[in-house]
Amino acid sequence: MPIEITPIGHIKTPYKEKFAIPRQPGLVTAAFGQIMFTQAFNSVDFIRGIEQFSHLWLVFQFHQTADKSTSPLVRPPRLGGNEKVGVFASRSTHRPNNLGISAVRLEKVSSISGQHCLIVSGMDLLDNTPIIDIKPYIPYSDSIADAAAGYAQDKPEELLAVRFSKSAQQQLTIYQHKYPHLNILIEQILSQDPRPAYHKTTTSDRLYGVALYDLNIQWRVAEHCCIVEQINQI
CB of 121 to ligand SAM, least distance (A): 14
By beta-carbon proximity to ligand SAM, the closer residue of 74 and 182 is 74
Angle subtended at Cα 166 by Cα 160 and Cα 169, rounded to the nearest 5 degrees: 75
CB 38 within 8 A of CB 8: yes
Pairing of strands 129-136, 9-12: antiparallel
List Cα–Cα distances, 202 to 123, 177, 210, in angstroms.
Answer: 30, 37, 20
CB 60 within 8 A of CB 135: no
By beta-carbon proximity to ligand SAM, the closer residue of 182 and 189 is 189
* Helix or strand holding residue 173 (H, E): helix 166-175
Residues in the site for ligand SAM, rule: CB under 6 A? 18, 21-25, 62-65, 91, 93, 100-102, 124-126, 129
CB of 166 to ligand SAM, least distance (A): 31
3-state secondary structure of 44: helix
Residue nearest to ligand SAM (CB): 100
CB of 90 to ligand SAM, least distance (A): 8
CB of 105 to ligand SAM, least distance (A): 14
Q: Which of 143, 126, 152 is nearest to 211 (CA)?
A: 126
By beta-carbon proximity to ligand SAM, the closer residue of 10 and 175 is 10
CB of 223 to ligand SAM, least distance (A): 26
By beta-carbon proximity to ligand SAM, the closer residue of 168 and 186 is 186
By beta-carbon proximity to ligand SAM, the closer residue of 118 and 126 is 126
Give strand pairing partners of 52: none
